[in-house]
Structure 1
Amino acid sequence: MTLLHDEGLTVEELAVWRMLQRVQARIARHLEADLLDAHGLPLASYEVLRQLAEAPGRRLRMNDLAERVLLTRSGLTRMIDRLQRETLVTREACPSDARGLFAVLTDRGAQRLAEATPTYLRGVRTRFLDALGGDEVGRIKDLLHRLGGPDAGHA
């Protein structure tokens, strides 16, 4: 039988979907282990610091940051609490919205990010890019973009 249930997925289509999930999770686990071993920095924290570093004024509204790092608002709040205790970020009130808050990268946070970035990039290279051939990066980019991947500025 080639179809699964009534959704019209073939065995091969479902296998590709599951493979994509497993590969992404495996690569993320390796990147996390590399960052924790070398810098004591979880991958999700690295991503928060990177997003803030790339934002104008090294600051983002909490809602925007949560969307970019794929965390719930409450999950991001807990993470920002931890990063604030480590003095890697601060919170600032939003002047145009009394209830809004910005997460702001501190100089110490920028330094920690700069120290961790070579480890992260090396992991991306060895665990992902080295397995691809010449034009495959462009083809994968096109496929992911077609699937609704983020704009280059928010990648």
Structure 2
Amino acid sequence: MNGESNTRLAAETWESLFRAQVTLMRRFEAAGDFSPLPAREYDVLFTLARAPGHRMRLRDLNESMLLSQPSMSRMAERLEHRGLVERCKADDDARGLVVSLTEKGLELQKQVGRQHVRSISRELGKALTDEEMRTLHELTVKLRLGCQASGGRSAP
């Protein structure tokens, strides 16, 4: 393949992957998967639930999300007011903040997560065989790790 064909194929592949994700997220949101949270707030709780000790520095949490630093700070503040996370100064940096999932936040994440996983299984199962899901998983992991190895921002 020549460079132009590779570039076009890469663009078409990215567009297809992106549109599939958007289509699925819209279905999940329409089904109320994340209720009583907006999807982005659930994503924060999910990310914290997977982090060691259910806690992350705010800057690291921000890197795993598609939000600006000020937006992430405001979201963490809202989640703290609802008792879902706690914010505290980082031990090693007085300017840094650590965001920790509370028991209430962890329980809500698990509750919402169970519903969301059922929806994911239903939607992917309609379109893909188990073998196709395994292949898609392998390819997306390879893509993510390849981007991380070349110096890109990482997601959990």
TM value normalised by structure 2: 0.79
* Structure 2 partner of 1:92: 88
Cα separation, 2, equivalents of 1:65 and 1:41: 18
In the TM superposition, residue 126 of structure 1 has moved relative to its aligned partner by 1.6
For residues 37-83 of structure 1, the C-alpha deviation after alignment (integer angstroms, 9 at most, x for no partner) is x7221111111101112222211000111112332222211211221
Q: In 2, are the aligned partners of 1:83 and 1:89 still within 8 Å (CA)?
A: yes
36, 58, 65: which one aligns with 1:62: 58
* Structure 2 partner of 1:101: 97
1:24-63 pair list within 5 angstroms = 24-35=21-32, 39-63=35-59
* Structure 2 partner of 1:17: 14
**Structure 1, unpaired ranges of 5+:** none
Question: Quick one: percent identity of the two aligned structures?
Answer: 31
For residues 80-122 of structure 1, the C-alpha deviation after alignment (integer angstroms, 9 at most, x for no partner) is 1221121111101111100010011111111211221111101
Cα separation, 2, equivalents of 1:144 and 1:32: 22
**Structure 2, unpaired ranges of 5+:** 149-154
Q: CA RMSD in A?
A: 2.6
* Structure 2 partner of 1:116: 112
Q: Secondary structure, in 3 states, of the residue corresponding to 1:87?
A: coil
Cα separation, 2, equivalents of 1:113 and 1:145: 24
Change (3 A) 1:34 1:41: farther
For residues 108-151 of structure 1, the C-alpha deviation after alignment (integer angstroms, 9 at most, x for no partner) is 11121122111110121122244211321221122223322589
128, 132, 135: which one aligns with 1:139: 135
